[in-house]
Amino acid sequence: MFAKPQNIMVSALKAPKIGYSRSNQLDIANYAQAEKYLDSLFKQNSNQVLSLSSQVEFFQNTVSEAILKAFASVLSGADRKTPGSHLAHRFLQRILYQINVQLSRLNADHSQFLTHECSTYLHSLRNQIEKVWQRWELAQFELDALKKVSVERTLNERIAADSNSISAENDRFFRTQMTQAGYQRLLAIASIDGLAAVSHLCRTLNATSKDHSIPTEFTRLFLQENYLAPLNRQYSTYFNKMLAALGMDTEPETYFDVVPWEVFALHNQAFLLTREKNYLLQYVGGLLYLEVAVPAAFTHYQVAAQRLKLPSVVINYWDLHTRLHTEDGYQMLDKVVLPVANQCPQQAWELVLGYDQQRAMSRRAVAAIASSVRAAERAERAIAKSSGAKN
């Protein structure tokens, strides 16, 4: 059992940073201290860390308060979803991602680096966050209406629209305006992906193998059509070469702090959907959207690399992945998604939900990435201006 916690507070910093209120500054300080506690839980003797009652209490209070600030609209029963606190979202998605990675590693290698008590606590903490977060994410969808749609017709319409969509402002920015400083920020954010896609697919295939209600054809088609193989085609090697060619660190952890919470949310969503077989159809629907959207997005990055005259390894990376995904959307729909829908007609609407949710979350993440890239470019210009003035 955990020791009985005691109240503990972190005082606000004396001088709030420009652009932050004193209240936000207090949140920043609390969230930073809470993340340090979580890190110590991973790295030190977990039983000893869990016995520090005042720190456990502080950490749990910080998480609970962040949940209230991030998801106030669903907790208050509001009719529509409101954004909530950006700082709270950032804190929650960052710690949720770290918990997911640690627990995933624990399941993969059966390591004893976490005690049973610590593992139980992390599972409980993850569930606490996910329960409210998922309510908040789903609040924008009319679930009753989705249950009544024609799955095949709706997905065909979605693919047609997303395959031929007019470039949005952020897409044009990446393609025609992004500087090399912005490009490096883009890659820094993308480096957090690692082999996440492969890891998620492996967990999905493992889940299907244990559930005879899902046809074995599903697994066979994934392997036969090479949906897994291309993602595993020396992904990390290609990406590391691209980072190295631009003089960047090849360790993804280096860039953890520049990753927007909206990007972490995408990864946390995939961890959730691939963890249990109940979310299988929702995950497959989201994967279908990615097969449709990836070629267009990667083409923008490839064109930008060509415009900036970046090393060929940078251009070739995007070219490889664009070619691998071209036409996969309709192939996956016909050979994987619709057969699964026919096999599970009562739950088939979840494929549409998964597609729509992946699209909404992906667009939110792209907007956040574009904002971060622009911020990196502004910082680069400020440095250049300052250096010019000194000279």
Q: How far is residue 354's CA from residue 159's CA, in Å, rounded to a whole number?
A: 13
Long-range contacts of 146-153 (CB under 8 A, 24+ apart): 146/349, 146/352, 146/353, 146/356, 147/349, 148/349, 149/349, 149/352, 151/338, 151/341, 151/348, 151/349, 151/351, 151/352, 152/338, 152/341
* Dihedral angle, C-alpha 336, 338, 340, 346, nearest 10 °: 160
Show Cβ contacts of residue 378 under 8 Å, excluding neighbours closer than 6 positions.
none
- pLDDT tens-digit readout, 271-300: 999 887 789 899 999 989 988 888 888 889
- Residues 58-80, mean pLDDT to the nearest whole number: 90
Q: What is the pLDDT of residue 46?
A: 64
Query: Does 349 score more than 80 pLDDT?
Result: yes
Look up tokens 């990864």; give the residue: 267
Domain boundaries, the chain: 22-138, 144-390
Q: With bands split at pLDDT 50, 70 and 90, how would you rate the model's confidence at 257?
A: very high
Burial class (CB in 10 A: 0-12, 13-18, 19+), 164: exposed
Under a CB-based contact definition with an 8 Å cutoff, are residues 25 and 12 in contact?
Answer: yes
CB contact at 8 A, 197 and 239 = no
71 and 63 Cβ atoms separated by less than 8 Å: no
Tell me the pLDDT tens digit for each residue of 123-169: 999 999 999 999 999 998 999 999 999 999 999 999 988 886 655 78
pTM, 2 dp: 0.86
**Is 203 within 8 Å of 272 (Cβ atoms)?**
no
Architecture of the CATH domain 144-390: Up-down Bundle (1.20)
Of residues 380 and 200, which shows the higher confidence score? 380
d(CA 282, CA 300): 28
